[in-house]
A and B are shown apart, each in its own frame.
Chain A
Amino acid sequence: MSDDLVLHLEGLKVETIKGATLVDHVDATLKRGEILGLIGESGAGKSTIGLAAMAYARAGCRITGGSITINGTNLRASTAVQRRNFRGKSIAYIAQSAAASFNPAMTLMDQVCEAPVTHGVMSRQEAETYARRLFRTLQLPDPDTFGDRYPHEASGGQLQRAMAAMAMSCRPDIIVLDEPTTALDVTTQIEVLALLRDLIREFGTAGLYITHDLAVVAQIAQRIMVLRHGKMVEVGDARQVLERPATPYATALVNERREAKQLPLIDPPADAKVMLNVTNVEAGYRTGSSVVRNINVTIARGETLAVVGESGSGKSSLARVVAGLLPRWTGDVKLAGETLAPALAQRPREVLRRLQMVHQMPDVALNPRQSLGEIIGRPVGFFFNRSKSAVRDRVAELLRLVGLPEDFANRRPGQLSGGQKQRVCIARALAAEPDLIICDEPTSALDPLVAEEVLKLLRRLQDELGLAYMFITHDLGTVRRIAHRTAVMLKGEIIAQGATADIFSPPFHPYTEKLIASVPEMDTTWLDQVLAGRGAAAA
C-alpha cells in the first residue's frame, strides 16, 4: 500500500437495524489531494457512504461489513473513543444544509475553533489565527471579525463557507462534502464551488464529493463513482464517465442532463382565452416592506407560465398571493375574468375548486395517515358530492391518469417513492377538475430522471385537459422543458417577461444572463471559463 493512500474502503456494507441493505460491497480509495465524486439519485446510499467513511452510521443503521482504513488504521477494528479521535481531526464533514447544522447560540469562531482545541491540535490562539486565514481564503466578509458573528447574522452561502472552514480547522487529510452547494442558489453555488475547490487544492486535502448533479461534480472531481440502490454502477476518470459512460444507467443520467441544453422551446398555444390575470399586485407578510410588488402576469388556457428567480426573489410569495394564502394588499387577481377575494377564507368553494396547487415537497404534502383513496377521493366527494362508489371509480380513473396502478388506492404515502408521491399530489389537484394549477417547484425535490417523468406527465395532462399552469421554479432546465412563457423575478419584481424563446435568446436582461451563465455545465473546464469570463469583465 502506498503512503499516498489516505482512505481505503473495502467491501463496505451498511444495513438498517431491521436488516435492509443500504450500501452493498462498495470499494473506494482516495489518494492525498484527490477528489472522488459520488453521484446518484436520492436513496442511492451516497450520504451513507460519506458517513461510513468516518466509521459513522445514522441512528437506525449499522455498518455490518467491510473495512474502513484511514492512514493505515482500520477504524472498524477501533474502539468508539479511537474513532472519535479520527473524526474532525483526520476526516471532516461538510453537511448539505449549513444553516441547520450550526449551533445558533454560539459564535462562528467558537464553533470553528472547537474541534482543533478539543482534539489538542492547536491552542485556542493558534486555532483563531488559522480560522481567520481560512475565512480569508474562503473570501468571507471582514475575515478578522467574521468569527464574532452568530449563525443568523450570516447568509446561507456564507454559512456554507464557514462550515468548510470548520471542517478544515484541524487540517484533516480527508474531507467529506455532502451536497455542499445543493441548498444554494445557482449564482451563489458558483462562488462556493470555486472557493471549495481552491481550498482543497491549497491545503492538499483529499475529498469525497457527494452530489446528484453531474455538472457540479464535473467541476471538482478527478474521479467519479456512480451509485444506484447502494451498489457501485460505474467508477472511472471524471472526463471519461461524463463523455463516454459505460453503463446504461450512467448514460441515462448524462443524457438527461445534456438534453436540458438542447431542448426545443415550446410555442405558446393558439387558443388565447385568458385564464389568470394578475394586475399591479403588491403583497407582504407584515406591515412594512412588501415581498412582491408591481406584478402583472396573464396565463391563457392550456398555457404554462414559468416564474423563475433565486430564493428570496418572491416567486413562491407570488404563488401564495394567487392561491389566497398570502392576501394581497393592492391590485387585482382575476380567474377567467372573475375577481378573486384576497384571502382564502373569503373565496367561495367553486373558486377554490378551480384553482389547485401542487407543492414542492411531496413528502409533507400528503397526510401520512390517510390512504391514497382518501387523499384523492376527498376532493371528489368534497367538491362534487358524489356517492362512495362513484368516488372510488373516479379515484381509480385519476390514478390511471397519472400513471399509477389502481390498487394503489389502498396504500399510504409512506409506501411510495418521491416521484409516485408527486403523481398523487397531481392526481389530488386533478380530482377537483381545476382550470389553473399552481406548481410550486414540483420537481426540485425529485431526482433528475424522476423529475423528467413528472414534467412529461404535466405536459400530457395539459394537452389532454387544457390546463393552465403557473410553474414556480429556480431551475432553468425545467423552464425549457415545460414553459410557453417565462417571467423572471428579482427582489420581488418581475424584471423580464415574455415567450420562453425570447427570454432565453439575446438580448438578455443582465440578470437573466447571469442566471443562465450560472447553470453548471458538464464540461470539466466550465467553472474555469466562467471565472475567467468574470475576471475579464471585472478588469
Chain B
Amino acid sequence: MTLFGHRPPVTAWIGLAIVAISLIIAVLGPWVAPYGQSQSVGDTWATPSAQMLLGADQIGRDMLTRLIYGARMTIGIAAATTLLSFFIGISLGFTAAVMGVWVDMALSRLVDVILSIPQLILALIILGVFGSSIPVLIVTIAVLDSTRVFRLSRALGMNLAVLEFVEAARMRGEGLWWIISREILPNAAAPLISEFGLRFCFNFLFVAALSFLGIGVQPPYADWGGMVRENAAAINFGLFAPLYPAFAIATLTVGVNLVVDWLLSIDARPSGSQAEM
C-alpha cells in the first residue's frame, strides 16, 4: 500500500495506526466515553467488569473514561505546545540566520542561557510563580521547547541563507518575512517536519511528567501523567490501575516515533556495501 507516493514499512503502518486511533479518540472523546470524566461510578480501584472495562481509579471514576478524556487533554496540550514552540523557534531561528551577526549573537546567547538551566526546574519555577492554568502551561512548555527548535532552524537557515537564490531575493530588496517564509521555509520543511514528530513526543512526555509532579494539568481534568500519579499507590496493593495510563503514554510515544523514523528514512538512501554494486 502506498501513502503520498511512498510505501511505508510495517512498523510505520503500526505507528500510523496508533497515532490515528489516538487522534480519533482525542477528537471524539466526550461522545465515545461511557461516563463523565469526573463522575464517580464505582468503588476505589474497582477491578475490571462489564460496566467498567478497565476498572475504576482512586475515587471510583471509570478508568476507560478517564483515559479517553486524558487523551484529549494530553495530546491537545502537546500539539498546541509543539505548534507554538515551532512558530516561535522557526521565526527566531530563521531571523537569526538571515539578519546577521548581531541579531544572531543576541538570540543565540539568550537561548544558551535558557538551555543552561534544567528544563524541568525552570518549568517548575515558572508554573510555581504564575500558577498552573492550561494557557500558562502551554506557553511555558512552548517557550522552553522553542529553544531546541531555534537551534535546528537556525542551523538549517544558515545553510540556506548563503545560497544564491536567497542572495537574489536580497538583491531584489525583499523583506525579512518574504525571505523567511518563501525562500527558506519551503526548503527546510522536510527536516522540520521530522523534528516536529520528535518534539511532539518530548512535549507530550513533558506534560505527563509535570502532571505527575502535580503542577501540570489540574484536577478534575484527566490527563495521563496525572493519572499515573493519582493511582500510583494502587501498585502497593498489586492492582493494575496506574499501568493503564502509563501504557497509553508508552504506546503513543512509540507510535509517534515509528512514524517519525519512517519520515526520516524517506530521504535517506542506501549506503555502505549494500549500495556499492
Binding site for B on A (CB under 8 A): 17, 55-60, 62-63, 76, 80, 83, 323-325, 344, 347, 349, 352, 356-357, 359-361, 364-370, 378-379, 382-383, 428, 432
Check if A378 sits within 8 Å of B165, measured CB to CB.
no
**Cβ of A60 and Cβ of B172 under 8 Å apart?**
no
Q: Does B187 contact A (CB under 8 A)?
A: yes
* Contact, CB under 8 Å: B183 / A55: no
Chain B residues 144 to 180 lying within 8 A of chain A, measured CB to CB, are: 163-165, 167-168, 170-174
Q: Which of B63-71, B200-208, B222-230, B268-276 contacts A (4 or more CB under 8 A)?
A: B268-276
CB atoms of A359 and B187 under 8 A apart: no
Q: Are the C-beta atoms of B172 and A76 separated by less than 8 Å?
A: no
| Contact between B174 and A60, CB atoms less than 8 A apart | no
| Docked-complex contact B187 and A60, CB < 8 angstroms | no
Q: How many residues of B contact A (CB 8 A)?
A: 21
Q: Is the CB of B276 within 8 A of A57?
A: yes
Contacts of B174 in A (CB 8 A): 382
B121 contacts chain A at the CB level, 8 A cutoff? no
CB distance from B169 to the nearest CB of A (A): 8
Asked whether, in the complex, the Cβ of A59 is within 8 Å of the Cβ of B171, the reply is no
B277 within 8 A of A: yes
Q: Indicate if the CB atoms of A365 and B276 lie closer than 8 Å.
A: no
Q: Give the chain B neighbours of A17 by CB distance below 8 A.
A: 270
Q: Which residues of chain A are near B168, meaning CB under 8 Å? A: 357, 359, 365, 428
Q: Which of B173, B187, B275, B276 contacts A367 (CB 8 A)?
A: B187
A352 to B172, CA, bound (A): 6
B172 contacts A59, C-beta separation under 8 Å? no
- Distance A356 CA – B171 CA, assembled complex (angstroms): 8
With both beta carbons as reference points, the residue of chain A lying nearest to B275 in the complex is identified as A59
Bound Cα distance A378, B165 (Å): 12
The smallest C-beta distance from A424 to any residue of chain B, in angstroms, reads 11
Cβ of A55 and Cβ of B276 under 8 Å apart?
yes
Asked if B186 is an interface residue, CB under 8 A from chain A, the answer is yes
**Besides A83-B276, A379-B172, 20 other CB < 8 A contacts?**
A17-B270, A55-B277, A57-B276, A59-B270, A59-B275, A80-B273, A324-B171, A344-B170, A344-B171, A344-B173, A356-B171, A359-B167, A361-B164, A365-B164, A367-B187, A368-B187, A369-B187, A370-B186, A382-B172, A382-B174
Give B189 Cβ to nearest chain A Cβ, in Å.
8
Cα-based distance from A349 to B175 in the complex (angstroms): 12
Known contacts: A344-B170, A352-B173, A368-B187. The answer to whether A59 contacts B165 by CB under 8 A is no
A76, closest chain B residue (CB):
B277
A324 to B275 CA separation, bound complex (whole angstroms): 46
Are B165 and A367 in contact, with the CB atoms below 8 A?
Answer: yes
- Using CB atoms, name the residue of chain B closest to A54: B276
User: For the complex, what is the distance from the CA of A323 to the CA of B167, rounded to whole Å?
Assistant: 11
Is A62 in contact with B277, judged by CB distance below 8 angstroms?
yes
User: Top 5 nearest A-B pairs by Cβ distance?
Assistant: A369-B186, A80-B273, A365-B164, A367-B165, A359-B164
Instruction: State the Cβ distance, A461 to closest chain B Cβ, in Å.
Output: 18
**C-alpha gap A440/B170 in the complex (Å):** 17
CB distance from B270 to the nearest CB of A (A): 6
Could you pull out 28 A-B pairs where Cβ atoms are within 8 angstroms? A17-B270, A55-B277, A56-B277, A59-B269, A59-B270, A59-B271, A59-B275, A62-B277, A80-B276, A80-B277, A323-B171, A324-B171, A325-B167, A325-B170, A344-B170, A344-B171, A347-B173, A349-B173, A356-B171, A361-B164, A364-B163, A365-B168, A367-B186, A369-B187, A378-B172, A379-B172, A382-B173, A428-B168
User: Least Cβ distance of A118 to chain B in Å?
Assistant: 16
B130-145 interface code vs A (CB 8 A; 1 in, 0 out): 0000000000000000
Q: How far is the CA of A356 from the CA of B275 in the complex (A)?
A: 44
Instruction: Tell me which residues across on chain B come within 8 A of A361, comparing CB atoms.
Output: 164
A64 to B277, CA, bound (A): 8
Please indicate the chain A residues that have their CB under 8 angstroms from the CB of B269 in the complex. Answer: 59-60
Instruction: Name the CB-closest residue of B to A55.
Output: B277
**Cα distance, A83 to B275, chains bound together (Å):** 13
Give chain B interface residues in 254-273, CB to chain A under 8 Å.
Answer: 269-271, 273
**A contact residues around B273 at 8 Å (CB):** 80
Contacts of B173 in A (CB 8 A): 344, 347, 349, 352, 382
B164 near A57 (CB under 8 angstroms)? no
On chain B, the residues within 8 Å of A368 by CB distance are 187
Contact residues in A for B165 (Cβ distance below 8 Å): 364-367
A54 to chain B, nearest CB (A): 9
